[in-house]
Amino acid sequence: MTPGARLQAVIDVLDTLGASDRPADAIVSAYFRQRRFIGAKDRTAIAEGVYAILRREARLRWWLERCGHAATPRALVIAHALVAESTTVVALRAHFSGGRHAPAPLDTGEVRVLESLATHTLEHPDMPEAVRLECPDWAEAALRAALPIGFAAELRALQAPAPLDLRVNTLKTSLTEAIAALHRDGILAEPTPWSPVGLRVAERRAVAATQAFRDGWIEIQDEGSQLVALVTDARPGHHVVDFCAGAGGKTLALAASMANRGRVIACDVLGRRLERAGERLRRAGVHNVSTRPLSHERDPWVKRHKAQFDRVLVDAPCTGVGTWRRNPDARWRRFGPGLEELTGLQAQIMESVSRLVKPGGRLVYATCSLLPAENQDRIAAFLTEHKDFQLLPMATVWADAVGTTLPFLDTPNTLMVTPHRHGTDGFFAAVLERRATL
């Protein structure tokens, strides 16, 4: 594809995204499925172009507003090429040639944008800090409160692309063997700093095409997500529920921790997501997992299985602030309930699933959010209403589950990892134990 054709593809994707309520990754995947003739290098360039603009959307919109131009997909592409990629005016005009597969020539308003932005860079001294940091209004106050010292650093880290992390499937192999297998396919990987079963790939590669992936030796999973599964401390012989299992990433990790002994039930209200977990379970050689679609968080199944489980993991639906590196469009486009509705749903889920935990068992609450309203506030509210549960110090949980000293000393009672401090997605986890007796 020519550079102009790639730009037109980016414009097409952004145009579809603006008219849809689906997230960017789904839009990009659908675009390529419908155009299988597009080669691998062009697919990579187009996807990177779309995500680069989404990561800089607030700043680009600020520039366009300053120019008096609407933030159309074409205008966003033009502004991005000029202020973020230092594309020359001559080259950009050539790309917008109106030729076969290329964007139509620039109109009068777009020419004014071109002339206005030709000498500028992405950031400007007059930009408000929230714009420079790509922080939406709805999250700014809460994030400033949650990150009184590291607000700017964490928001900068959330602008960058996430690394490619893998979890080694200990049911089939070891870290050393997995590293060697990936190396044979030309992929360099090294152990992650915190997870004892994690690998980080040096650059974005087609890991799913490797023999190690096809044989079920590795799974793609952010290190922060791995840590949540680890502190759940599911052991061989345990009965475990992964209540908001989704496509089964943490379910697989729990099964591996249990060495395929005991029982894991993966639940979700979206049955189709559970169906997608089936192939992953088979590839990983997991035999102790069953799936259970639920109608809602208070499904009668919960009542029927009261006090039967050693571990219940709730990876609760949340705003996903901690995953903005992977889902930059989630800053600006809400794909589900808002914060107030989510906190209510989180409370309802906790109230319901706590019934599943047997005396002496543990309820692990986790989110991929950095907002206190979804994390610390949820735990405090739950403990106020449920005197039969107690918060376990994370240092103790970590030592028992991982076998080392908790490296996150700033949060000794809960787990909180962030992109800037730990190089992971943002994750929170708290481990609550049901008292054997009151």
In three-state secondary structure terms, 357 is strand
- Is 117's pLDDT higher than 70? yes
The answer to whether 375 touches 367, Cβ cutoff 8 Å, is yes
- Is 295's pLDDT higher than 90? no
Dist. CA 226–CA 229, nearest whole Å: 5
Strands (E) located in 230-284: 239-242, 263-268
- Is 438's pLDDT higher than 70? no
What is the pLDDT, as a whole number, of residue 70? 96
What is the pLDDT, as a whole number, of residue 63? 97
- Is 416's pLDDT higher than 80? yes
Q: How many other C-beta atoms can be found within 10 angstroms of the C-beta atom of residue 267?
A: 24
CB neighbour burial string for 102-137, b if at least 16 within 10 angstroms, e if fewer: bbeebeeebeebbebbeeeebeeeebeebbbbbbee
Complete DSSP assignment for 362-431? EEEEEES---GGGTHHHHHHHHHH-TTEEEPPHHHHHHHHHSS--S-TT-TTSEEE-HHHHSS--EEEEE
Tens of pLDDT, residues 260-282: 999 999 998 877 788 888 889 99
Tens of pLDDT, residues 179-193: 999 999 999 999 999
What is the pLDDT, as a whole number, of residue 206? 86
Dist. CA 123–CA 65, nearest whole Å: 14
Q: Which two tokens stand for residue 189?
A: 């990987």
The answer to whether 353 touches 297, Cβ cutoff 8 Å, is yes
In three-state secondary structure terms, 132 is helix
For 418, phi and psi rounded to 5 degrees?
-140, 160
Cα end-to-end distance, the chain, whole Å: 69
Asked if 318 is an active-site residue, the reply is no
Cα-Cα-Cα-Cα dihedral sign, residues 108, 113, 116, 118: negative
The answer to whether 327 touches 54, Cβ cutoff 8 Å, is no
Instruction: Give me the torsion for CA of 172, 176, 181, 187, rounded to 10°.
Output: 130
Topology at the third CATH level for domain 223-434: Rossmann fold (3.40.50)
Complete DSSP assignment for 20-85? -SS-HHHHHHHHHHT-TTS-HHHHHHHHHHHHHHHHTHHHHHHHHHHHT----HHHHHHHHHHHTS
For the chain, give the percent of residues with pLDDT over 70. Answer: 99
- Of the ranges 28-32, 69-73, 229-233, 246-250, which one carries the lowest mean pLDDT score? 246-250
CB neighbour burial string for 178-195, b if at least 16 within 10 angstroms, e if fewer: bbebbeeeebebeebebb
Name the pLDDT band for 67 (thresholds 50, 70, 90): very high
Q: How many other C-beta atoms can be found within 10 angstroms of the C-beta atom of residue 362?
A: 24
- Is 336's pLDDT higher than 80? no
Name the pLDDT band for 437 (thresholds 50, 70, 90): low
What is the pLDDT, as a whole number, of residue 4? 94
CATH of 164-220, one of 3.40.50.2300, 1.20.120.80, 3.10.105.10, 3.30.70.1170: 3.30.70.1170
Cα 346 to Cα 247, 269, 351, 356, 432, distances in angstroms: 19, 14, 9, 16, 15
Domain segments of the chain: what residues? 3-126, 164-220, 223-434
- Of the ranges 27-31, 112-116, 410-414, 422-426, which one carries the lowest mean pLDDT score? 410-414
What is the pLDDT, as a whole number, of residue 108? 94
Tens of pLDDT, residues 85-96: 999 999 999 999
Dist. CA 206–CA 40, nearest whole Å: 10
Dist. CA 55–CA 265, nearest whole Å: 37
Dist. CA 313–CA 232, nearest whole Å: 7
Name the pLDDT band for 148 (thresholds 50, 70, 90): confident
Q: Report the predicted TM-score, pTM, of the whole model to 2 decimal places.
A: 0.93
Nearest to 428 by CA among 387, 385, 394: 394
